[in-house]
A and B are shown apart, each in its own frame.
Chain A
């Protein structure tokens, strides 16, 4: 691989990792504000290590839902990573213990970096470089956000409860570039709000996930 290519990949990887690190600060802050401990917050960033799922879990718990409802929302959002890893399988060709390590790096960002390269050697380099940089800064960011929030007396004063839906909105927005997903999003939000007073917290999410799965399965 040419030196310049290697350097360009590393530069991109670092840029992505820095942006994600800042995003992790928000996660650490919201997680502690939602009532999770410092250790639980850090454990999620190390083991779960997938942004949308982490935000979903602490969002549900923060809104008064049970830990299991939060866990289910996190897992449902994590299903997309299975499709990324499916796509990456032949590209990475990782076996044995390397596969166990490679799996932890399966994310939106690393997948994008890997499939953007046309040579397998460069794909693999981009994948692991982005994964390693992201993992490091994601966890540093989480710790900073969590520690800073722990030091506050009342996170509500800083509007952190309002930051949670805004974070979900920002994650959602890039997926809404067409009419169908926009309609699904609006319908899902309306259904979830309508169900809210009648079922335990967190359950509206599960019903919405079930309904959209049925819709997807039956629509053609």
Chain B
């Protein structure tokens, strides 16, 4: 990927995220208080994070691939259900993938 494009994306997204933080402090309170907007907003991170879990596990570029990442995700799900802290969840997933790659041909 061209580094300039990456830079542009990084900077635009970073500034936009900052402006979102500023919005609630600076804009009139009523702008963000539409009840439908309030009911919808919390759903967006749930759907996006779940979609990222799905695509991050099965996607390689635009192809669906079954590999050790699926096993790593299964281990991560167990860790999450046991209420393991963030780093433990990430650590066991990475370790699972690394070890399977070492063992499998």
Residue ranges of A at the interface with B (Cβ–Cβ < 8 Å): 19, 22-23, 26, 35-37, 40, 43-44, 47-50, 52-53, 55-57, 59-64, 66-68, 70-89, 92, 94, 99-100, 102-104, 106, 156-173, 175-176, 181, 184-193, 196-197, 200-201, 204-205, 208-209, 211-213, 215-217, 219-220
Contact = CB atoms under 8 A, between A and B. Distances in A.
Contacts of A74: 13, 16-17
Contact of A85 (B25, B33, B73, B80): B25
A89 B50 contact: no
A159 B72 contact: yes
Given A170-B76, A213-B44, A104 B96 contact: no
Given A81-B20, A161-B69, A162-B69, 13 more contacts: A22-B87, A23-B86, A43-B11, A52-B45, A61-B9, A64-B62, A82-B32, A103-B25, A162-B73, A168-B49, A172-B46, A205-B52, A216-B44
B90 A26 contact: yes
Given A77-B48, A169-B73, A162 B96 contact: yes
Contacts of B68: 159, 162
B48 A81 contact: no
A52 B49 contact: yes
Contact of B46 (A55, A67, A188): A188
Contact of B54 (A50, A60, A190, A216): A190
Contact of B21 (A104, A160, A173, A181): A104
Contacts of A85: 20-25
Contacts of B53: 165, 168-169, 172, 189
Contact of A189 (B42, B50, B93, B98): B50
Contact of B10 (A44, A56, A60, A80): A44
A25 B3 CA distance: 23
Q: Which one of B23, B25, B86, B98 has the highest number of Cβ atoms from chain A below 10 Å of its Cβ?
A: B25
Interface string B59-95: 1111110001100110011001000011101111111
